[in-house]
A and B are shown apart, each in its own frame.
Chain A
Amino acid sequence: MAAVTETGAAHRRRAQRLTIFAMTGPAYLWLALTIFLPLSAMAYFSFLTDAPFGNKQAFLTLENYRAFFQEDFYRTLMLRSFRLGAEVTFYCFLFGFPCALVLAKTIRGRWREALFLLVILPFWSNALVRIFSWTMVLRGNGVLETLVNWILPGTGPLNLMFSYPAIIVGLVHSYIPYMILTCYLSLQAIDDSLIEAARSLGAGRLTVLRRLILPLAMPGIFAGAVLIFVPVVGSFMEPRILGGRNGTFIGTIIEDQFTAVFNWPLGAALSFIMLGIVLMILLIASPALRRMR
């Protein structure tokens, strides 16, 4: 008994460590097996001459990375993907922010809850199916053409399918709920009395928006931008369905390496370059964000 007494607290700490380990171990083991080890394996593969399966011999090489820096083709596509990410993020902000503002600051009570739910409802429903649904609207002789000709008779045939704008429309549709959600969360945290105080000090609506609301909502805008920009840069399914032959991006090239060309090391290298650039952009952007706060 006495021996136990002396180490009462220590004994308890040991028991606690065991509990923590037993309860978190399975989940983190799972994550290691499915996320962290695969990413490491991918890093390894990106330096190989060939996928080391069967009797194939594979050697370490920098060839896959050199290919990216030597061939304009990949660089152009990478640039195109990042431009796509930037454009989609911008449009999501342009159309999503006012929507969040209206929701957070002018609509009250049960209506707000219901409308908010309506906005994010499509967000969890199947992304592929939602992209697919745009083909019904955008195709020649489709709903958009009919609609436009009904409003402005004589516009004539309108076929947006398999074009860059089609990809933009589809992606904005897919990702705008992210921006609305994050902006809404930071906007509704702004105390109304702050706005009233600014108005009482003689600030006009635009000044309040520029000097008060936008800076305070910046964390939400930034979070939304990250949540949109990162996956859009890596998108491949959306450009394929809505862009057709115009839908070649770095994402589709990477997909090809794994499903059609079977050059896994090149695909791995391109993936890592993409991830690296994304992380770099985030690193550069984060101090700027901190300054804004």
Chain B
Amino acid sequence: MAQVAVQEVSRHFGPVKALDNVTVDFADGGFYALLGPSGSGKTTLLRMIAGFDYPDSGHIRIAGEPVEAVSVEKREIGMMFQNYALFPNMTVFDNVAFGLSVRGVAKPEIARRVGEALELVHLTGFDKRKPHQLSGGQRQRVALARAIVTRPRVLLLDEPLSALDKSLRVEMQVELKRIQRDVAITTIFVTHDQEEALTLSDRIGILNEGRLVQEGPPLDIYERPRTAFAARFLGEANLFDITPGGAGGVSLGDGTMIRINGDTGAARQVAVRPEKMLLEPLSAPAPEGDSNVIQATVQQHIFAGSSLTYLLDWRDQQLKVFVQNRTGAVIGAGETVRLSWSPRDTVVLAG
């Protein structure tokens, strides 16, 4: 177990900048998610930490030791692959034992540790099976057991749950979290699934076009996205163009003044999460206090049982609002409604 430090790492593939001066620290024992769309460089970064790729410039340290010149097999890492990459010619036992046996660990010791690892992932008794005789979830557990049995310093997960169907994925998220806590191993995982990143990790780094856009605990990033990209990639957001207008207030395009907390600086945009907006008919009593208020027209609603999503038109811009299904009634298309939200929920975006 160790801290991983990435310092000013860049990597080019021809004219394409896969990674552009990325610096990020992965805390010892932490569970860190690298989130980004495909082509954002997240997988390149993971593969560099693993040692399958090398930076053009910059440093990577594992437990303080520079590893740029250390090849994969000597880095003492554990990696779980997207397709699990279980050796098809070996049994579950041999798969898990592989890392120990190439290190020359004694047979009884191997048997003991493989047994422990399989117990940890709840696969005791499956040791004689071949990978093709396992279900998707079981394969994933084997891959996990194989990756951690060598007691690596870092556990790297490449889109670990993407091959599973939805219900199994949720179950495995819980499992993964439990196991990570049990073995207390520094874990870095790559995903394009924002929900997965929010659920599993205690820190998230958002990457876009080779750059680290924002980094921090999930709640921070969700509540205080720094850029439009971060706001829209992690969760959903209604974006408004603003013109700065004095202390504590800015004006939207149509001149409506809204209040914000703090200073806008040179910002040109604010974001409001769809669930933070209150949607009411115009007939309802006006909200009290310092709420921001605008009027919009309902275009369409999407019913999902416990909740509703409204798509609204505001000055030819589409807004989205999530509403809990409390009343059992729906506001029809074409009706004008009032949207209100607290200044606290108005997030100022940089750039």
Question: Residues on A close to B: CB < 8 A?
Answer: 1, 4-6, 8-9, 11-12
Contacts and interface: CB of A to CB of B under 8 A. Distances in A.
B66 A8 contact: no
B55 A9 contact: yes
Interface in B111-125: none
Contact of A4 (B53, B56, B68): B68
Interface string B37-63: 000000000000000011111110000
B54 A1 contact: no
Contacts of A6: 57
A223 B252 CA distance: 69
Contacts of A12: 54
B11 A5 contact: no
B304 interface: no
Given A1-B69, A8-B54, 9 more contacts: A1-B68, A4-B68, A5-B58, A5-B59, A5-B66, A8-B56, A8-B68, A9-B11, A9-B55
A1 B59 CA distance: 10
A2 to B, nearest CB: 8
Interface centre among A1, A4, A5, A12 (most CB of B within 10 A): A5
Contacts of A1: 66, 68-69
Interface centre among B11, B53, B66, B68 (most CB of A within 10 A): B68
Interface of B: 11, 53-59, 66, 68-69
Interface centre among A1, A6, A9 (most CB of B within 10 A): A9
Please report whether the interface of chain A is mostly helix, strand, loop or mixed according to DSSP. Answer: helix
A68 to B, nearest CB: 51
15 contacts: A1-B66, A1-B68, A4-B69, A5-B55, A5-B57, A5-B59, A5-B66, A5-B68, A5-B69, A6-B57, A8-B54, A8-B55, A9-B54, A9-B55, A9-B56
A139 to B, nearest CB: 55
B63 to A, nearest CB: 15
Nearest to A3: B69
Contacts of B69: 1, 4-5, 8
Closest 9 CB pairs of A and B: A8-B54, A4-B69, A5-B68, A9-B54, A8-B68, A9-B56, A12-B54, A1-B66, A8-B55
A1 B69 CA distance: 7
Nearest to B56: A9
Nearest to A13: B54
A9 B10 CA distance: 11
A84 to B, nearest CB: 50
A7 to B, nearest CB: 9
B10 to A, nearest CB: 10
Nearest to B53: A9
A214 to B, nearest CB: 40
Contacts of A11: 54
B140 to A, nearest CB: 31
A271 B58 CA distance: 60
A14 to B, nearest CB: 12
Nearest to B54: A8
A292 to B, nearest CB: 37
B71 to A, nearest CB: 9
Nearest to B55: A8
Nearest to B66: A1
A1 to B, nearest CB: 6
Nearest to A10: B56
Interface centre among B53, B54, B57 (most CB of A within 10 A): B54
Contacts of B54: 8-9, 11-12
B16 to A, nearest CB: 14
A9 B9 CA distance: 12
A101 B54 CA distance: 52
Contacts of B55: 5, 8-9
Contacts of A8: 54-56, 68-69
Nearest to A1: B66
B50 to A, nearest CB: 14
Nearest to A12: B54
A82 to B, nearest CB: 48
Contacts of A9: 11, 53-56
A4 B39 CA distance: 27
A5 B55 CA distance: 8
A12 B54 CA distance: 8
Nearest to B58: A5
A10 to B, nearest CB: 8
Nearest to B71: A12
A5 B65 CA distance: 13
B38 to A, nearest CB: 22
